[in-house]
Amino acid sequence: MISGKVISVDGEPIDFATVFLKGTSYSCSTNEKGLYHLSVPAGDYTLVFTCVGYEQQEAKVKISASERRKLNVKLRPVTQLGEVIVVGSQLSKVKNSAFNATAVNTQDLVNTTKTLSEALAKAPGMKIRESGGVGSDMAVTMDGFSGKHVKVFIDGVPQEGVGSAFGLNNIPVNFADRIEIYRGVVPVGFGADAIGGIINIVTPKRQRKWFVDASYSYGSFNTHKSYVNFGQTLRNGFKYEINAFQNYSDNDYWVDTPVENFETGAINRRKKEHVKRFNDTYHNEAVIGKIGFVNKPWADRLLLGFNYSHVYKDVQTGVRQEIVYGQKHRHGHTLMPSLEYGKRNLFTKGLDVSFNANYSRNANINVDTASVKYNWFGQTEKLNSPGEQSYQYARADNDTWSAALTANYRLKDHHVFTVNDVFNGFDRSNRNLITGSEDEYNKVTSKNILGLSYRYMPNEKLNFSVFGKEYHQYVSGPVTSNSGSSSQTDYTLTSCSDDYIGYGAAGTWFMPLGFQLKASYEKAYRLPSIEELFGDEDLEQGQVNLKPESSHNLNFNLSFTKNFGVNSIYVEAGFIYRDTRDYIQRNILALSGGKSAATYINYGKVDTKGFNISARYTFSKWLSIGGNFSQMNVRDNMPHVMGSTADNIAYRERMPNLPYLFADSDVNFYWVGLGGKGNTLTVTYDNQYTHSFSYYPANIGAANNDYIVPTQFANNLTFSYSIAHGRYNLSFECRNFTNANLYDNFSLQKAGRAFYGKVRVYFGN
């Protein structure tokens, strides 16, 4: 008899892992506690431990007649890249990767009301920027790069065209097992065109016989959030899983803003009124289903998926807060079937293959038909023509195709070759629901990114990679063909096709005394996104003729990890440099009637230098203290105005509308065993600091505080009580308990003090 326990590197039992004797038919599976029992004849064997999502491990054993052997093992988690190991808690280092990467362990946050975007804010160099409350437009700032410069993946699949319901600020933190963040230099395995970096949401891969995870929260501004995740994996490998979540909020919080006087038609920007938002209701519903097989001889994972989401959003403001709408809104839905396949040692030992494909059909309807305009007091004034911004009742149908193939070949223990190919296609058609007419030209783009890499690992202390990428993009869409003097806007179809070559290298050295050094470089390209090329048919105006960005990205990183008995210390310092050409910048565009929208331009040269520091101290299972500090110097590097010999007055000034100095910290106290064995009380205090910044070039904006986003300091407090080893959970949160004024893009104000409560239950393995 051989028996024992299979656990992960963080001490958690692994259920439904497979244990078998190599070359025989003797096998068994672990139970919900990670325990296994295997009866075998006497002899010398190799015992193999496998589980999807973990590295396979082998152990030599000798069994004598009537002997009982006990053998416990630890399995390390893996991803499709085959090179990441997450250690520690809350803020973790992705240790084995040669790339500048960190990982946030979301398991510490599942009892809070946080979304994935809020969990991301705990990583160094990360800043989350939202234009308002629940469901508002969100952008991630990573090391001075914001918005579309940073790409998002779920389990290595690019999230383009999936609809706003699957935005990071809408997905509950329970959805993910961890969040991986690769900054600046991106591994070939993702097939990404990102000069800022990428975010990869890793969902749980544990094989659970059955489970149900459900939660509901309620809070300020009539905010309701619910989440349910259930599934089952049978012994024959059949698996199904359902994720569903919902968000609703009136977002009726108070803001301080100038108000238009309808009698004079003027806005006194020096006088701010305390007013309540009244047209900002948001709700979304989403369901994600998967069904298929795991742990079969022909596939480690073969899953068919289907996603559906629905979104409704009132539009309270334009890109500036002084602009207010009272009836403008949008709604839409997304359907997305998908296929996922993965197999280790396909055809031959060492060849691991994964394939993902999906098709997304997204319909988005913009409604702006009001015959009156509003001010912040809710007063109305009749318009000369309907439309608070621009008269429209229009539908945009977006079709997106995506496919990604990754193959890793491991030659012995020291060499890994990777090839990755990612294709993405997009087609948008517009229909005017007032007239019934359709646009003459569709808006079309496609891109393909092919990557090759070689990784050399001479020993456990050194790891070196070199790689190359080939980028291709095709764009077709309408551009204005007539002069501005014409009352009729005419369009002609334009198209272009571009190819680029990128390359890079990354290495890491595990030094003595717990130090680790990393360095990486990439000549990277970022192809313009769908929103930048074609806009959103409402507040965002696209530019079909945008050029791809190119950048020389350089990272240095030094970390230190040490355990002293029950004490653990983790410190990390990183330096980044970016030399970016054809930088794509989001600007405010003035429209007639005092209205405005956002547009995109290529802005010559931008130079970025910055650093971030992170530290965390943990005492046993009782205390965790840590924080991050980031300073990013993003400068305009254009001596002359674009297309002119005139001096650029913003030369060497900071790029506008980008936070450049920010920090966060948290203190976590755990009272294990409070009220009974298996119970834990967690008390968390955390804060976020953002230094003031200008949303125009500093030498222009600093002269007028209207152009300055002020310094901000938010404080939050969370109490969470877990009962019966996490089966029942209660939490209470107070966000921004000092009721500080918080702002973001172009001084849009966010919510003040808010309270939330959450109930969560978990049953099964």
- Which residues, listed in sequence order, are joined to residue 35 by a DSSP beta bridge? 5
Encoded tokens for 465: 């990679």
**Which neighbouring-strand residues pair with 365?**
331, 395
In a domain, 80, yes or no: no
Shared domain check, 496 and 462: yes
Q: What is the pLDDT of residues 698-716, one digit of tens each?
A: 666 555 566 788 899 999 9
Nearest to 340 by CA among 396, 299, 387: 299
Classify 274 as helix, strand or coil: strand
Establish if 676 belongs to a structural domain. yes
Residue that is written with structure tokens 């790339």 in the block: 99
Tell me: the pLDDT tens digits for 618-669?
988 899 999 999 999 989 888 888 777 888 888 888 888 788 899 999 999 9
* Alpha carbon distance 421, 502 (integer Å): 14
Phi, psi at residue 149, to the nearest 5°?
-65, -20
Q: Are residues 615 and 684 in the same domain?
A: yes
Helix (H) or strand (E) holding 433: none
* 12 shares its domain with 120: no
Q: How many residues does the chain have?
A: 765
What percentage of the chain reaches a pLDDT higher than 70?
91
Q: What tokens were used for 645? A: 């010999």
The C-alpha atoms of residue 404 and residue 421 are separated, in whole angstroms, by 6
By the 8 A CB rule, do 698 and 77 touch?
no
Whether residues 302 and 272 share a domain: the answer is yes
- Structural domain contains residue 315: yes
List for the chain the helix, strand, coil content (%; round to 5): 5, 60, 35
Query: Do 101 and 11 belong to one domain?
Result: no
Over residues 163-212, the pLDDT tens digits come to 677 778 888 888 888 888 888 788 887 877 877 788 888 888 777 778 99
Answer yes or no: is 535 within a domain.
yes
Would you say residue 490 has pLDDT above 70?
A: no
Euclidean distance between the first and the last CA atom of the chain, given in angstroms as a whole number: 25
**Confidence class for position 344, pLDDT limits 50, 70, 90:** confident
Read off the CATH number of the domain in which 69 is found.
2.60.40.1120
Pairing of strands 138-142, 57-63: unpaired
580 touches 551 (CB < 8 A): yes
Q: Which residues contact 705 (CB under 8 A, 6 or more apart)?
A: none
Q: Which amino acid is at 315?
A: V
Q: What is the CATH number of the domain that holds 475?
A: 2.40.170.20
* 85 located within any domain: no
Closest CA to 122 of 559, 718, 628, 711: 628
Note whether 66 and 195 are same-domain residues. no
81 belongs to a structural domain: no
Higher-pLDDT residue of 56 and 373 is 373
What are the C-alpha distances in Å from 27 to residues 30, 50, 297, 344?
A: 10, 11, 14, 19
- Neighbour tally for 262: CB within 10 Å: 14
Number of folded domains that form the chain: 2
User: What pLDDT is attached to residue 700?
Assistant: 62
Q: Which residue has the higher pLDDT, 651 or 92?
A: 651
Dist CA 356 CA 405 (whole Å): 7
Q: Kindly state whether residues 473 and 373 are assigned to the same domain.
A: yes
Distance (Å, rounded) from C-alpha 36 to C-alpha 27? Answer: 10
Identity (one letter) of the amino acid at 744? D
Asked if residues 225 and 246 have their Cβ atoms less than 8 Å apart, the reply is yes
Q: Which residues constitute the domain of residue 618? A: 91-764
| Token pair recorded at residue 103 | 């990982």
In degrees and rounded to multiples of 5, residue 398 shows phi and psi of -110, 120
Helix (H, G, I), strand (E, B) or coil at 107: helix
Q: How far apart are CA 350 and CA 103, in angstroms?
A: 26
Q: In this structure, are 112 and 255 located in the same domain?
A: yes
Would you say residue 82 lies in a domain?
Answer: no
pTM equals 0.82
| Alpha-carbon distance values, 80 to 183, 265, 422 (Å) | 18, 59, 14
302 and 367 inside one domain = yes
Could you tell me if 621 and 11 are in contact, meaning their C-beta atoms sit under 8 angstroms apart?
no
Q: Does residue 83 fall inside a structural domain?
A: no
Taking the C-alpha atoms of residue 538 and residue 389, their distance in angstroms, rounded to an integer, is 9
Q: What is the pLDDT of residues 573-627, one digit of tens each?
A: 989 999 999 888 777 666 655 566 677 888 889 999 999 899 999 988 899 999 9
Q: Using one digit for the tens of pLDDT, what is the confidence trace for 132-162? A: 888 887 777 787 776 677 888 888 777 776 7
3-state SS, 454-521, equals EEEEEECCEEEEEEEEEEEEEEEEEEECCCCCCCCCCEEEEEEEEEEEEEEEEEEEECHHHEEEEEEE
Residues 6 or more apart whose CB falls under 8 angstroms from that of 381 comprise: 262, 372, 373, 375
* Residue 529: per-residue pLDDT: 83
Give pLDDT, residue 80: 42
Of 75, 108, 123, which closes a domain?
Answer: 75
Same domain, 474 and 553: yes
CA distance 594 to 588: 12
In this structure, the answer to whether residues 127 and 250 fall within a common structural domain is: yes
- If pLDDT is split at 50, 70 and 90, which confidence band does 337 have? very high
Those residues with Cβ within 8 angstroms of residue 66's Cβ, 6 or more apart along the chain or in another chain = none
Q: Are residues 31 and 147 in the same domain?
A: no
